[in-house]
Amino acid sequence: MRNLFLFFLALYSASGLAAPDQLDNSCGPILDVTVRSLNENKQVNLCKAYKNKVVLIVNTASKCAFTPQYEGLEKLYAKYKNKGLVVVGFPSNDFAGQEPGSEKQIQSFCRLTYGVQFPMFEKTRVRKKYADPLYKNLGEAANEYPSWNFHKYLLDRKGNLVASYSSSTKPFSKQLVKKITSLLEE
């Protein structure tokens, strides 16, 4: 019996397919990146951390007309996190220098001003020409890179891009909430 198992394992390996027990570990190529938590040295593999979660990824800034969206993003996260939603923020200074602070300053601002508890990660480049790996993956999958702060990308539980929303889409917009709730029910 053991030889038969080894034979099938070798067959899967030779075919380039994942072994059956490895299939559950896949979350798609978009999230197959490791990033650093905001103001920490902790490295987080997004695929492992958010496997089987609906993920809303947002590039953020502290000095932007859309900055009050932090409040809605935190409320969205609080309302749906127990059902499987995670909101993740990536501060970026790519647009008009609207995120000039240090990571410590950003973290303090988000927590003290908006009570942000959703995961925040290192300052990130999001514009097409200079995009960090995650945003390169997102931009290519959506065929759209952020054109301003608070652009939103929504991924299903398998890590596939489902939708891309402009900065003007508010966290509790009908279309975004409807899409999130439908993904959470799948």
Residues with a catalytic annotation lie at: 64
What are the residues whose beta carbons fall under 8 Å from the beta carbon of 156, sequence distance 6 or more?
Answer: 54, 162, 183, 186
Indicate the SS3 state at residue 35: strand
Measure the CA–CA gap between 93 and 63, rounded to whole angstroms. Answer: 10
d(CA 176, CA 186): 16
Question: Which two tokens mark 75?
Answer: 């409320």
> Do residues 71 and 114 touch, judged by C-beta distance below 8 A?
yes
DSSP for 147-165 reads SSTT-EEEE-TTS-EEEEE
Cα 180 from Cα 186, distance rounded (Å): 10
Helix (H) or strand (E) holding 91: strand 85-91
82, 179 contact by CB (below 8 A): no
